Homo-oligomer: A and B are copies of this chain.
Amino acid sequence: MATNTMNKSEIKVIGVLERVGGFASAQELYQLLQRGGESIGLTTVYRALQSLVSDKIVDQLRREDGEAIYRLCGDNHHHHLVCKQCGSTVEIEGSAIERWTKSIAEEHGFREVGHTAEIFGICPKC
């Protein structure tokens, strides 16, 4: 196996995804790379992401507005409780959801399963 050579751009993109530690869009990753002083073009970011996705190193899904977001596969992620009013967020543990996801997916024969979940409401201060 290991047919895949990893080029410089792909390594840069993986690096920034590690720093982010969760989902980010191509545009966001591009900006972060720029700010970090990396010399890399937007086109190349897109190409690196495509290639990483098809090598199953990166997970791709869609935000509600249709923008694609990416994260390293196998990142164990957390969830957020977000205030609709002031935007403050609380990180929450999600093992319950984790189990729920797994059992539902199994039940329907799905593989390579991931999920998104977010709770929103109005926080005590607001």
Contacts and interface: CB of A to CB of B under 8 A. Distances in A.
A109 B123 contact: yes
A120 B68 contact: no
Contact of A119 (B60, B101, B109, B119): B101
A104 B92 contact: yes
Q: How large is the interface on A (under 10, 10 to 19, 20 to 34, 35 or more residues)?
A: 35 or more
A119 B111 contact: no
A121 B112 contact: yes
A81 B96 contact: no
Contacts of A108: 81, 90, 92, 123-124
A116 B121 CA distance: 12
A109 B88 CA distance: 13
Interface string A57-70: 00011101011100
Interface in A79-126: 81, 83-84, 90, 92, 96-97, 100-101, 104-105, 108-124
Contacts of A62: 62, 64, 66
A64 B66 CA distance: 9
A43 B113 CA distance: 36
